[in-house]
A = this chain, B = another copy of it.
Amino acid sequence: MSFSKSRAARPALAGWLSTGNSITQQFMAIGGRADVVSLAGGLPAAELYPVEAIAAASERALTRWGSAILEYGPIEGLPALRAAIATRFSATTGRSFGPENVLLTTGAMQGLDLVGKALVDPGELIVAQFPTYLGALDAWRPREPSYAQLDWSLQRPGFEAELRRAKFVYAVPNYSNPTGALVLQAERAALLDKVLEAGTWLVEDDPYLPLQFDGPAGPSILAHHAARHPNGPYDGPVIYLGTLSKSLTPGLRVGWVVGEAGMVATLALAKQSTDIASSLLTQAIALELIESGFEADHVPRIVTAYRDRRDALCRAATEHLSEWFEWEAPPGGMFVWMRAKTTDIDTDALYAHALAEKVAFVPSSVFDPDGALKSAMRVNFTRSSPEVLVEGVRRLERAVKRYLAARAGRAA
């Protein structure tokens, strides 16, 4: 190879990339391997994607809008879909939301990227629910923030000072990623009080809202704030992120940010710097699926399927994994958070044995900004059939046994 002689060394990459992780790419690649049972990704059940409804919606959208949805955009997205999302929030919160309160994004993930771009300079503080959604940590890595842990009990000394210093608080109150936990209504209200006192923003990330298995999730923090201030256009501190990725399909890449109009305008400036606009075509398809009532009819079907899958996973885990792990069955969402009962299990180390047994999960370290949390694993139950989930749990049991045997061998 003349390769290394023929060129000078090239410039260094940006600093944040040395702290990056490739684990999401790994999971997505594993997702394509037929011989591996992936309990890793946060993926919906592909067999439930409404392919025919989307084909019909695409045809209707192009007939309805013609070349107008083949333009660059407005940056903020298709006005009719912004209005439809605003109407949904007005109806569910009792506050007045208009299109000016809604920015359409390439999935809720882009909302996280834009919030980071708009608010965070290197070294600044984010107070984040811990453990923290991997994608949020990824989204903010290029802004090089520091982190403090959101303490839902609000008891930790110094927490109020951290809130005052923070650019924003990050919370996933409904069926959190990775833990599946549903935050109590009283805790939501109490956090909102503290956020208002501190004068900071609150990013409420709510992708799992449609996936309610055991009764209603109750009001969002956005709705709490709206109930306290029912009059006039929304001007509160909540920056709310939603998506169609869980209720319909992630492939449309349609998400939204709902917030006060000034913040939405700021995030639109950040979006202009990012990709000018998302596809209006996929937004127009989403509009058809919402306006026709298809989305509302579809959600109960996926909820039924996912509830069965959660139950199948938890039953199998009780049989095969409860010697080493404990968990609560989540009342919604996509994940069971399994915590090691003893300190001799390191889930980073377990992961290699799991891959050897052809099963994948997400080790807890990637949900910790410092990478230090190694005592738990996130297990997805939405992607696979109950039968495959049971097989995955059996493989996990073998992986744990292999791992502990290898540890014992080294210790001996």
Residues of A within 8 A of B (CB): 1, 3, 6-11, 13-15, 17, 20, 22, 24-25, 28-29, 32, 43, 46-47, 49, 51, 54-55, 58-59, 62-63, 66-75, 105-107, 109-110, 113, 117-122, 135, 138-139, 141-143, 166-168, 196-201, 229, 232, 235-237, 245, 249-253, 266, 268-270, 272-282
Contact = CB atoms under 8 A, between A and B. Distances in A.
Contact of A72 (B15, B43, B120): B43
A196 B8 contact: yes
A62 B253 CA distance: 16
Chain B CB within 10 Å — which of A11, A32, A67 has the most?
Answer: A11
B266 A279 contact: no
Given A11-B168, A196-B7, A279-B253, A67 B43 contact: no
A67 B46 contact: yes
29 contacts: A3-B235, A7-B199, A7-B237, A8-B196, A8-B199, A10-B201, A11-B167, A11-B168, A11-B201, A13-B118, A13-B119, A15-B121, A17-B118, A17-B269, A25-B268, A29-B74, A46-B67, A46-B68, A47-B67, A54-B70, A58-B59, A71-B249, A106-B106, A106-B279, A109-B274, A110-B275, A113-B274, A138-B273, A142-B270
A310 to B, nearest CB: 21
A6 B197 CA distance: 9
Main secondary structure of the interface of A (DSSP, over half): helix
A166 B8 CA distance: 13
A72 B28 contact: yes
